[in-house]
Structure 1
Amino acid sequence: MRVELRVLGQVEVFVDGTRVDLGHARQRYVLATLLVEANQVVSTDQLVDRIWGERPPRRARQLVSNYLSRLRILLSASGVADEVVIERRGGGYVLLAAPGQVDVHRFRRLVADARADADEVHASELLEQAAQVWRGEALAGLDTPWIATLRQELERERFAADTDRLELALRQGRHAALLPELTTRAQAHPLDERITAQLMLALYRSGRQADALERYERLRVLLAEELGVDPRPPLRELHQRMLAADPGLAAQENRSPVVPRQLPAAPALFTGRTLELAELDRALTGARNGRATAGTVVISAIGGAGGIGKTWLALTWAHRNLHRFPDGQLFVDLHGFSPTGRLTEPADALRGFLNALGQDADHLPSDLDAAASLYRSLVAGKRMLVVLDNAATADQVVPLLPGSPDCTVLVTGRTTLSSLIDRHGARHLPLDVLTHGEARALLATRLGERRINAEPGLTDDLIELCGRHPLALAITVRHATTHPTIPLAEHTAELRDLGLAVLDHDIDPTASLPAVLSWSLHHLTDEQRVTFALLGIAPGPDIDLPTAAALTGLSPARTRKVLRALEEHSLLDRHPHGRFRMHDLVRSYAAETARDLLEPVRRAAVDRVVDFYLHTTDAADRLLEPHRPPIPLDPPAPGVHPHPLTDRATTLAWLDVHHPHLLAAQHTAAAHDRPQVVWHLAWALATFHLRRGHRHDDLAVWQAAVDAAERLPDPAALVHARRRLGHAHAELGQHEQAVAHLHRALAVAEDHHDPAQQARTHHALAWAWGQQGDNRQALAHARRAVALLRDLDEPVWEADALNTVGWHAAHLGDYDTARSHCRAALDLHRHQQDRDGEADCLDSLGFIAHRTGDHRRAIDHYREALALFRSVGNAVEAAVTLENLGHPHVALGEVAQARSVWREALELYRQQGRDNDVARVQRQLDDLDRSAAQPAERALHGVHHLGGR
């Protein structure tokens, strides 16, 4: 918090640039008295005397007490009660404040330091700062005898300090810039010999010797007429030296000009950013080697989210390269993103630069263009560095750009500042989070290698919980260093449990990650702020344009503009293939801001995005498995348009990309009490999960679907959910759970006299028992499924059941039965144009041919099945068929072909996380290496396809 207490002008109090209302006019008299003597007790009688003089009102002491009470209330309400305190002590009162907060004390300290400083350049800078403290007549608007006396005393102090300032400025060769101010002072003080001497010297050094001599003659006459005296010796001596054209007067013009050194201190313990520092070096080298267009300025605009370390990088690089800028460095904080939300105006920044370059504060151009022109003239041809920190808009930056290619400018800000790139050739250097190695180095530098090496796994967790975000890491380091006895495990647990709340700070907003992030929202429109909040609660790790349009309810064109604006403000990152992603901590903050939205707004957005995912996934499932019986869906929320999918290839590509979002959408639907959607999403994902081998995810979505179906009135939904859950358990080798769920599904189907669900559940039980190698149990359930399905008009399901009967019959040695059932199933699938089912049957026929010694026919069947599986994108079943295909190749002694297909199967199994299958195929490959002539263990067995719809 920045507190300013002013008497050198009007009596005012400012908090972070905002003026505090001081209430009753007399309260300003009280405050002025206490400010002038800050940290010293002022008696009540003195207060009465200074406020009212010789005619105090009745009950004056009580009025003073009342005024002070009101001042305390006003100061407390403004939030400065901890920094500015008014206390009653002894027989009076004291105002406690840091000396630097009161302008009169800051002025006096600067003047005293300047007069004690042997370095004239630094002393001159201190006096320039002292002059800037004044904002007009001291104690303006107040009038009592004591104040009138004090005002005169302060004006004398100001006059003396200005005289010293001008003296030093003349010694540094700034005579031309000082002429307007010196002329005005000489007119205001016509009998002051020191002022006349300074004006004469400035005129003389500006080549105006006659004017300088005329000024002396004018003063001599005035002194004789008014006071009857002659000028004193110092002025007479100066006059004689000018008449003699003393070269010593002109030689002083060669003094070194003012070299501004405005850079703040370099960040302590800076680590990492090697690539970014090198990029800044390249930007400067390119400019120096003439690769920049003549007359342009090479700018490295450093972008990045709040707290990412832009200023630290800029200052670190600047201090490491000071030798490259012998003519000085200028720095200004443009307050683009700060607690107050008030931008630094370019005119104010220019005034600061011009003062630093030796221009008099009281005689600067008032027009922005004129000030910018003067600034460009002063830095022309100089090798200077200009750091424009925390910029929000290009309008803030452009007037501060030098016109000389010898100057280098660093701009930091959270926005991209596109026009700087387009019109001024700026090089954009986006700043991301630290690498893991850089983050670890930061922790090691500040906490010590011993502490972080003691718990390396914990250190890695801490880094990832902070998202490798520099400010988050810095805050965590502060917590750890200020509480050295608390293990890192506790800090890690707090971050894991409380998240962003641990990185907050109630008192200092610059030490709070949520506060720093909040400043990025100051320049957003309401529409952009709402979108930012909604992105925080959107399901999935990232988002694309169609999904974002559904989330926001805006048109795609409008959504694109809003996303681009958030990207420009470093709140959103764009990734390849049209994906947009937030940093995890930024997203957590966005989710926090979403709580401020009205519940109907938030709920409608969630419903839209979930419906978008559901209806798009349902359409995808119909493309992948057109023979699967559809389930009716409620219409999507108003304004939702499912993403158009045209063929199986684009469908699988969309599902591959959006799979994590669809899982998250199901969780979101469950959290928002939409059980029908939970069940429907599980249904719509089933085919994709089967073909891509997402077995663990399939188990999770069907467990959620069972929980949801138990709340729905439709028993068929519960039967189907339990059946699919049982199937998912069986895929993972969890036989007991699989059979338990399948029998519970069968019981519900039988209780509700649903033959179709009974048949499908028997089919699933056949597959589960087959996974256990119990072909007799499997065959019994498969036959029961066929019997039930013959009375139903479901040819695809009947074909699946027939194929399952054939598969298990073959394993029991009944090859005639097996062959007839599989061929009947193949005919049905071909008639229905069901390529998945057709491939399953061909795989079964390949196994039968292999078992009966017709290995070449087996190879033909397997290859035909493989081609069909690949045509529909069924990588899971393709892997199984590849494995089966290897066995007849081994039987025929075709070792190379067997090795080739098994290696391909092995790679697919690995990609699908099927560890048991990987181990089995690896054993078969090892067998080939040991003996190419000996069939592998499972050469007469085969692997059954997953089955089930």
Structure 2
Amino acid sequence: MLGPLQVRRQDEELDLGPRQQRLILALLLTGAGQPVGLGHIIELLWGQHPPSSAVNIVHRYIGALRRLLEPGLPARSPGRWLQGDANGYRMRVTADQLDLLTMRTLAALARSQAEAGHHAEALSHFQMALALWRGPCAGAADLGALDQPAFSVVDHECAELAREATDQGLRLNDIRSLLPALRRMAESRPWDEALQAQLLLALSADGHQAEAITLYQDVRSRLATELGVNPGDELRTAYQVVLRPDPVRSGQSDPRTASPAASSPIAGPAAPAMMLPAQIPAGPTHFAGRDDTRRRIFELIDDHDANRTSTPVLSIDGIPGIGKTTLAIHLAHQLATNYPDGQLYVDLHGFDPEPAVMPPAEALQGFLNALGIPDSDIPVSDFARAGLYRSILAGRRILIVLDNARNADQVRPLLPGTPGCLVLITSRLRLTGLATTHSAHLLTLGVLTLKEARDFLATRLGARTSADPEATDEIIERCGRLPLALAVVAGRALAHPDHRMSDIAEELRAEHGSLDGFMGDDLDNNLRAIFSWSYLLLSPDAAHLFRLLALQLGPDLTIPAIASLIGAPTPDARRLIGQLVRTGLLTEHAPGRYRTHDLIRAYAQELVHRHEDGPGRRQAVRRLMDHYQRTAYEANQLLMPLPGPGPLDVTDGVVTAELHTPREVMTWFTANWPALRAVVRRRLRDGDTTEAWQLVFSLLQFWQNEGVWHEGVALIRECLPAVVAAGDDLGRAHMSRALAGGLFLLGDYEAPPHLLHEALELYDTLGRTAEQTVAYRNLAYVSHALKNSEEAVKQAECALRLATSTANWREQTFSLFFIGDVYVQLGRLDDALSHLDQALLIAQEHADSYLLGLHDWSMADYHEATGDLAASLARRGRALESLRELGWLVSVVETHIAWGDTALTLGDQAGARAAWHEALELIGRRRLPQAAEVQARLTRLDQAADLNVSSS
């Protein structure tokens, strides 16, 4: 990996195949045994615009790599080396099998020896580690992957190793053995001024002053010509040492500690002697997690160091208690050695009660004092004070941490004006203004992953967590994986070493989701107090909204749902949402979708019961439920209106979502499915059975076409006993028919006939002819599945007659399609074509995209029956386009399966495989019967391919 990618089996170098296959292997090896997600692989190969077949192509390359690494590996076997799991793919490698790991092992040993004072041994191991480097990671340039972060991180790591090795060589005046590798690495990183500076020092120490001077002139010319900038401080300092080399050679001083800015002229008083502030607070004793965030930050800093065109400004935001300050301080300690002129830190108190918010002028005074400026020399005006601060920072490398910022205006006067420094900012808000004016990098922290949370507790509590993993996981989930909550619980556990993890879990369980389990003696570790600091910043109306958020029924809310919750117009709701987002109490986790952390919602729950009366809470919940109920009704009418109940009257102040296309409808249903199920169950709990079953009716088309069949059937089973108990015959008829449809989709053909006949009797008694039409059509589907085609046609014809009598053109078309499909299977092709043509005329008259797609589907079967497979395949493709546009997942999956069947009959094995893989990807984790069917097809295809290979 440390150079052009090479893989050897014993003494034989393997041919790694095409470029994309080599790229995949290189990316997996940079992971050094850690999983690499499928999305990262696809992004590496195609960027933001992958082809639709990207997943299938990656699967093929993975299979080819497995067979390359293990000749004779059976088809579809996971293999020994390249393994896949839910997190992605990983290469199993050890330190003696991968030069990257060998280098890291040697470097760690060298650093350990250097810290222990064994400098000669350290240099020896640094030399061995550096000798492994052959060029840029994986030969990224040859693979067309120059800008890939995974490879850049390794290159940065190697450059840092070279700098450390050079330091050690200079210390011992033994630099010659390092020069060849250092020269080659500096050539490969022409913009890395720190590395160029080290090469200057190494050349000078080895007596090559002329070469060092020439190198500096070349670098300076390159920077001026291509970037329009001058060399940075570190390179200029190294050049001064080259011109006066004796101190370095004699080991009397370290040139990197010199600060050329110490005598820089500044406005106002004469520049003071340089002080080295070290204001960063003590870091956490134990730190776990945030590896991806830290890696990204180091990459950003590395890019700025390479370009030296601006000061890197990184703003870390997130909800209260998410660990922003802890991460910033941890990073500051890790990076401190890169900023030899010191570190500045200030808590801006941005979310403390208003009087405590620190003005920028006060922060500037503290920084200037820390930099050696007495109060008497600090200007009175804010503008002059900021100018003095920027002048002193010019030419220096200082790390600045601005903690707990209120907004961008509080931060701007504290930013340096020239390159060289690093600024880390934390805030509960996303400081987008800084991104605009200072090209700040904005990083939002989320909750910890389950693994990170386990590591978080394990680093603090040791073996207690592994001794009771189930209790540990329960604690993690009750903490909502919020770092501050986990820290509070860990502190409690340390204070009571006799308590088991199960005891602590029981304590949290007993608090029933309140914040009482997360109270600490220190206000800084008291969740209720920390949340209150943001809450107190809200206007009265925004505080009212925050309290009502505790009443939400799903995991998140949209703007129309929030407007309904508070009974306000949408513009007012949007304004109040902005306040909550700005204070970190609400997060926009997806465009237009907002959620609160579980513990913040627990805080809102306390407030809503304290400040909102019972009638007000009940009215807010009813408005919210009416929002979902009315939007679901209108969405279903746009999706596929069937004979059924009309819209309910809704409470004043209810806002519905604006949906315009079937795809928008399916997207809305999918995103709000958890909340819709919660509304049904809340209606049943409140005794509102009519509203409950009518909402279920509005959801039928969605869950049937989205494939969430088990959840849909579960809702119907909950509704049916309630409507029976309420004596609601219409509701009973609709729920019986709906349950029959759900069970049929799940492969149960025995129960549906009884349920459908029961529904028919109720519809007949109630005089609901239109609903009888649908029930007869459903019966036809069941009879056909039971291989009773004659009975199926009779029932469909009955449905057709009823639909014609009620002028229900959509039901007419469904029945005609069904009869035509049955006739195709029976070989009565003329009769089939007649029915399909009738259906087409109706679909064309009403320009119904779904029905036109169904016609293409039915005609594909017809052409296949006539033996015209090419025409059949073309029709499948047209049907697929229509159904994709509608967003009907199940129909798209079934079309992919049928398309693959036809392609295989035509001898297109690759096309069949791609279609079936696409079907599996769409099915995902849904428990659909088609998954087993598709997998069986792929297995047979693989077996046939293996048989052909062995025969040849």
Query: Same fold per TM (> 0.5)?
Result: yes
Amino acid at match of 1:390: N
Cα separation, partners in 2 of 1:729 and 1:474, compared to 1, 3 Å: same
2:733 alignment partner, one of 703, 716, 719: 719
Amino acid at match of 2:452: E
Question: Is the 8 Å Cα contact of residues 308 and 419 (structure 2) preserved in structure 1?
Answer: no
Cα separation, partners in 2 of 1:289 and 1:817, compared to 1, 3 Å: closer
Please tell me whether residue 734 in structure 1 is matched to residue 748 in structure 2: yes
Gaps of 5+ in 2: 1-271, 946-952
1:617 alignment partner, one of 629, 632, 639: 632
2:460 alignment partner, one of 420, 426, 446: 446
845-854 or 311-320: bigger deviation: 845-854
- Give the CA deviation at 1:725: 1.7
1:268 alignment partner, one of 272, 275, 285: 285
Equivalent position of 2:6 in the other structure? none
1-side partners of 2:827 and 2:300: how far apart? 77
Amino acid at match of 2:626: D
1:529 alignment partner, one of 535, 543, 548: 543
Question: Is the 8 Å Cα contact of residues 387 and 411 (structure 1) preserved in structure 2?
Answer: yes
Question: Is the 8 Å Cα contact of residues 341 and 519 (structure 1) preserved in structure 2?
Answer: no
Equivalent runs, 1:454-853 vs 2, <5 Å:
454=467, 459=472, 462-484=475-497, 486-489=499-502, 491-492=504-505, 498-501=512-515, 503-505=517-519, 507-595=521-609, 596-625=611-640, 628-629=642-643, 631-670=645-684, 674-706=688-720, 709-710=723-724, 715-752=729-766, 754-773=768-787, 775=789, 778=792, 782=796, 785=799, 792-798=806-812, 800-801=814-815, 804=818, 836=850
2-side partners of 1:657 and 1:330: how far apart? 45
Equivalent position of 2:912 in the other structure? 899
Cα separation, partners in 2 of 1:455 and 1:808, compared to 1, 3 Å: farther
Please tell me whether residue 315 in structure 1 is matched to residue 329 in structure 2: yes
2-side partners of 1:707 and 1:490: how far apart? 40
Question: Is the 8 Å Cα contact of residues 398 and 420 (structure 2) preserved in structure 1?
Answer: yes
Amino acid at match of 2:627: F
2-side partners of 1:800 and 1:382: how far apart? 76
Residues 315-349 of structure 1: CA deviation (Å, up to 9, x unaligned): 33444455566776565544444589844567876
1-side partners of 2:340 and 2:885: how far apart? 69
807-816 or 306-315: bigger deviation: 807-816
Question: Is the 8 Å Cα contact of residues 302 and 410 (structure 1) preserved in structure 2?
Answer: yes
2-side partners of 1:494 and 1:633: how far apart? 47
- Give the CA deviation at 1:264: 3.7
Larger Rg: 1
Cα separation, partners in 2 of 1:780 and 1:914, compared to 1, 3 Å: farther
2-side partners of 1:809 and 1:281: how far apart? 67
- Give the CA deviation at 1:559: 3.5
Secondary structure at 1:390's aligned position in 2? strand
2-side partners of 1:421 and 1:905: how far apart? 39
Question: Is the 8 Å Cα contact of residues 630 and 648 (structure 2) preserved in structure 1?
Answer: no
Please tell me whether residue 413 in structure 1 is matched to residue 430 in structure 2: no
Question: Is the 8 Å Cα contact of residues 882 and 904 (structure 1) preserved in structure 2?
Answer: no
Question: Is the 8 Å Cα contact of residues 560 and 570 (structure 2) preserved in structure 1?
Answer: yes
Question: Is the 8 Å Cα contact of residues 540 and 661 (structure 1) preserved in structure 2?
Answer: yes
Question: Is the 8 Å Cα contact of residues 298 and 409 (structure 1) preserved in structure 2?
Answer: yes
- Give the CA deviation at 1:445: 1.1
Equivalent position of 2:133 in the other structure? none
Question: Is the 8 Å Cα contact of residues 380 and 404 (structure 1) preserved in structure 2?
Answer: yes
2-side partners of 1:620 and 1:288: how far apart? 53
Equivalent runs, 1:147-296 vs 2, <5 Å:
263-274=280-291, 276=293, 291=308
Gaps of 5+ in 1: 1-254, 933-949
Cα separation, partners in 2 of 1:827 and 1:716, compared to 1, 3 Å: farther
- Give the CA deviation at 1:760: 3.4
2-side partners of 1:884 and 1:258: how far apart? 75
Secondary structure at 1:574's aligned position in 2? strand
- Give the CA deviation at 1:863: 7.0
- Give the CA deviation at 1:723: 0.9
- Give the CA deviation at 1:724: 0.8
Equivalent position of 1:913 in the other structure? 926
1-side partners of 2:295 and 2:925: how far apart? 42
Amino acid at match of 1:441: D
1-side partners of 2:528 and 2:475: how far apart? 18
2-side partners of 1:881 and 1:375: how far apart? 67
Cα separation, partners in 2 of 1:305 and 1:833, compared to 1, 3 Å: closer
Cα separation, partners in 2 of 1:649 and 1:909, compared to 1, 3 Å: closer
- Give the CA deviation at 1:270: 2.4
Equivalent position of 1:240 in the other structure? none
- Give the CA deviation at 1:728: 0.8
**TM-score scaled to structure 2, two decimals?**
0.58
Secondary structure at 2:554's aligned position in 1? coil
Percentage of identical aligned residues = 33
Give the number of equivalent residue pairs: 673
Residues 682-725 of structure 1: CA deviation (Å, up to 9, x unaligned): 22222233333332233244345536645777632331122112
Cα separation, partners in 2 of 1:686 and 1:274, compared to 1, 3 Å: closer
Secondary structure at 2:513's aligned position in 1? helix
Secondary structure at 1:499's aligned position in 2? coil
398-407 or 318-327: bigger deviation: 398-407
Secondary structure at 1:646's aligned position in 2? coil
Cα separation, partners in 2 of 1:357 and 1:575, compared to 1, 3 Å: closer
Question: Is the 8 Å Cα contact of residues 730 and 771 (structure 1) preserved in structure 2?
Answer: no
Amino acid at match of 2:632: T
Cα separation, partners in 2 of 1:816 and 1:561, compared to 1, 3 Å: closer
430-439 or 850-859: bigger deviation: 850-859
Secondary structure at 1:528's aligned position in 2? helix
Question: Is the 8 Å Cα contact of residues 775 and 811 (structure 1) preserved in structure 2?
Answer: no
Secondary structure at 2:322's aligned position in 1? coil
Question: Is the 8 Å Cα contact of residues 896 and 916 (structure 2) preserved in structure 1?
Answer: no
Amino acid at match of 1:765: L
Amino acid at match of 1:532: F
Residues 400-446 of structure 1: CA deviation (Å, up to 9, x unaligned): 77889887665443244566666677655543333444333222211
Amino acid at match of 2:640: E
**CA RMSD after TM alignment:** 5.1
- Give the CA deviation at 1:660: 4.2
Secondary structure at 1:629's aligned position in 2? coil
Cα separation, partners in 2 of 1:510 and 1:672, compared to 1, 3 Å: farther
Amino acid at match of 1:516: I
Question: Is the 8 Å Cα contact of residues 762 and 781 (structure 1) preserved in structure 2?
Answer: yes
Question: Is the 8 Å Cα contact of residues 632 and 695 (structure 2) preserved in structure 1?
Answer: yes
Amino acid at match of 2:330: T
Question: Is the 8 Å Cα contact of residues 903 and 912 (structure 2) preserved in structure 1?
Answer: no
